[in-house]
């Protein structure tokens, strides 16, 4: 079974600085998708960034980028120029590609605190 | 921006009672999901639903749980006889097509279920 591990329950960063959230996963599959979701307090989870395992190039979305290391099964999220609105729970998630597997496997989350 | 809406936002019930959680997915989406998050634990996949039938379900989704799309807009999760351990946040999600690198989940804000 696939597992996703986020080893940092909580991270704190000064506004405007850069922070990296770590995520590792365990799978024997070669084709899958990885996601980072953000959950602000009392709000729904929203997608931050996604990565397809067959793509070697790291995904980037504005201030958010990933460091995808397939061999190491690592998928970290880098947030540059941190803003107060980035404060949230961040969840890493994995999904097997193809049919027959609909569910995402999530990590336990990292609580990101932005200090003004 | 289209949203997945969930009701109620919080429900308190007595052990053994039936509970129905409601969701209105995004109108052009074809796949529907329920996830749950017990306090302090991971978000866990419960079930996916497509073409008016269950597409996939996890080990958690036992005979106490059922899902239904009673009309063209609502998607419900019923827990037949609630147990204390059913206390959790339940998230509904939908996607236009099966989740992939191109098609992602849109989550609702969640329904918090407290079983006393």
List, for residues B21-72, the tens digit of each pLDDT value.
999 999 989 999 999 999 888 899 999 999 899 999 999 999 999 999 988 7
pLDDT at B99 over 90: no
Taking the CA atoms of B3, A43, B91 and A111 in sequence, report the sign of the dihedral they define.
Answer: positive
pLDDT of A21 reads: 98
Nearest to B48 among A44, A50, A103 (CB): A103
Report the gap between the CA of A77 and the closest CA in chain B (Å).
17
Bridge partner list, A5: A24
Phi (first) and psi of residue A85, to 5 degrees: -70, -5
In this predicted structure, what is the pLDDT of residue A100? 61
Q: Nearest chain A Cα to B37, which residue?
A: A108
What mean pLDDT do residues B96-109 have?
Answer: 81
Average pLDDT for A72-90: 97
Residue B111 has which token pair?
């329904």
Query: What are the distances in angstroms from CA B31 to CA B28, B69, B71, B110?
Result: 10, 11, 15, 17
């Amino acid at each position: 079974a696939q597992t996703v591990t986020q080893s940092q329950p909580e991270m704190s960063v000064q506004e405007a600085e850069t922070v990296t959230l770590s995520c590792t996963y365990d799978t024997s599959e070669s084709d899958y998708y990885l996601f980072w979701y953000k959950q602000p307090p009392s709000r729904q989870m929203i997608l931050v960034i996604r990565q397809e395992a067959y793509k070697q190039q790291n995904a980037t979305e504005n201030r958010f980028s990933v460091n995808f290391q397939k061999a190491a099964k690592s998928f970290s999220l880098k947030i540059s120029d941190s803003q107060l609105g980035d404060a949230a729970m961040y969840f890493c998630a994995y999904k097997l590609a193809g049919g027959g597997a609909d569910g995402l496997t999530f990590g336990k989350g990292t609580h990101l605190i932005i200090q003004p | 921006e289209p949203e997945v809406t969930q009701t109620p936002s919080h429900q308190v019930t007595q052990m053994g009672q039936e509970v129905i959680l409601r969701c209105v997915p995004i109108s052009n989406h074809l796949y529907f999901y329920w996830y749950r998050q017990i306090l302090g634990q991971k978000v866990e996949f419960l079930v996916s639903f497509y073409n008016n039938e269950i597409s996939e379900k996890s080990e958690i989704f036992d005979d106490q749980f059922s899902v239904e799309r009673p009309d063209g807009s609502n998607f419900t999760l019923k827990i037949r006889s609630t147990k204390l351990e059913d206390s959790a946040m339940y998230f509904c999600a939908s996607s236009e097509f099966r989740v992939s690198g191109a098609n992602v989940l849109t989550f609702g804000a969640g329904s918090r279920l407290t079983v006393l």
